[in-house]
Structure 1
Amino acid sequence: MAREKLKRRARGRRSPFAAAILIGVGLLATGGIYAGASAAVAATGESTATTTQATAEEGETLFQANCATCHGMDLEGREGYGPSLNGVGELAVHFQMSTGRMPMQMNGPQADQKPVQFTDDQIASIATYVQSVAPGPEMPSARITDGNGDVSHGAELFRINCAMCHNVAAAGGALTQGKFAPDIMDTTPENIYAAMVTGPQNMPVFNNQNLTEEDKRDIISALLYQQEAQAPGGFTLGSLGPVSEGLFIWIFGIGGLIAVAVWITAKSN
C-alpha cells in the first residue's frame, strides 16, 4: 500500500519549472498579439496617406504599357490612333475599361463591348492616374446609383431622351454608318450614369442643365427596375417591338397554319 501511494505521488508531482514556463509562454503570446495589432494599425495609417499616390503611380505604369500607344504618353492623343484624354476624368476611364471597350482591338465606327482585360483594382489605378493628370467627371455617389429614385418619372425621362436610340425597352437599336445604340439591360448603374455624363461613342452628353442629378437618379432607377422585372407576356423576343413580334407570328403562326392545312390535305388524299 505504501509503495502504491508513493507511485501516485511521483506521477502527480509537477516540475518546479512548469509555472515559470507557462508564465513565459503567456507573456510571449500577449506581446506578439500586441505587436501585431500595433503594426497593423500603423500600416493602416500610413497606407491611408499614401494610397492615392501609390495608386496613381501604378496607374501611370499600366497606362504607359497599355494605353499610351494610342493616347500618347502625355494623354494628348495621337492622330489616327486615339483621342486626347484631357478632361475625360476617371468616370470615362472606368466606363470604357470596365465594359471592355478599351483597349480597342481595331479602329472602327465605334468600340464594341468585349471581355474586360483588367482587374477592378487596375482599372481604378488607371482612372486615378488620368484624373490626377487630366481632371474630369468623377464617380457618382452611392445615392445616385442606389435605385431608389422615382421609377415612373425616370421611365418618362428615358422615353423622351433615350428611347429613340436605345429602344423603349432599352434593348438597343441600329444607327447610321455602321453605328448602333447598345443594349443596356445588363449595364451597371455606375456605367449608366457615366454614359449620360461623358457621352461615349455617339451618345450625347447630358449635363445638369439637360438632366439634373435627381433626373439621372430616376432614369437609373427606372432601368434597374426594368432589368429586374419579369416579362408578364412570356418570351420577350429580344424586346425589339412589333417588328420582331409580327415577324415571329408571320413565320411560326401563319407557317404553322399552312403546315396543318397541307397535312390535312395530304391525309384526305
Structure 2
Amino acid sequence: MTKAKSSVSTQRAQKSNSGAARKRALARSAYSADEIREIFRRFSIQRPEPKGELNHTNPFTLLVAVALSAQATDVGVNKATKDLFAVADTPQKMVDLGEERLISYIRTIGLYRNKAKNVIALSKRLISDFGGEVPKTRDELVTLPGVGRKTANVVMSMAFGEATIAVDTHIFRIANRTGLAPGKTPDAVEATLEKIIPADYLFHAHHWLILHGRYCCKARKPDCLACVIADICKAAEKTSEMPAPLVPLA
C-alpha cells in the first residue's frame, strides 16, 4: 500500500472510530442528537457570549483563581484575589510574596493553607520548568502542584481558547440529573459530553452548563419555571409547575 493510500485509510478509520464513539455516547444519553442540538441552541440564545465568573488579569492569575476555587465560591475567591492580584500577578511576584503572606490574603477561602502551599509550589514550577509562562497543554498543566484535569480544562478554555469541558459540581449534577451525560465520575461525564455536544456549540458549552446549574438547575431545587429547556428536560426531579416552551423548537 502506498503512503498516500495508507494516509487516506487512516483518516477513514479515524472518522469511523469517531462516529462509532459518538453513537455509543448518544446511546448513554437520554436525548437524541436533535434534542441535544436544540438544548444548546437555546442556551446560545439565552447567553450568546457566556463568561466565567472568576476575576483574573492573565493566564497565571486565572490558574491561581481556579486552583483557589475548589470547594469555594467564585464570589469568595474574587474577594480574596482582588487585593492579592494587585501585588502578585506573576509567578515570580507570588514566590516573592511567600506562603505566609499569601495566606493572609486567602484566609477566608476553604483549605487556604494547602492551597497556599500549592500556589507557591506551582509558581516555582512555572519559573523553573516553563520560563514563568503558563503552559497551554493539558499534559503540562496537570504536572503543576494542585492542578487537576478540571483546572487544566478551565485554563485551556478561558486563557487559550480551547474547546474543553471542565466538569465541576454543577455540570456533574446536571449531566446526571437530566440524563444528558450520565456518569459515575467527572471524567466519564466529560468524555460523553465532548462526543455528544455539536461541534459548533462545544466552545461555550462549558460555561452554558455551569451557569445553568448555578442559577437555574440548582442543587436543592431546580427553578424549572425559569428554565429555557424545561419542556425538553427528562429529569425525574422537577418542580411541580412547568412553563410553556420559552423558545420554540427549531
TM-score (norm 1): 0.20
- RCO greater where, 1 or 2, for CA within 8 Å and sep 6 or more? 2
Computing the radius of gyration from Cα coordinates, the structure with the larger value is 1
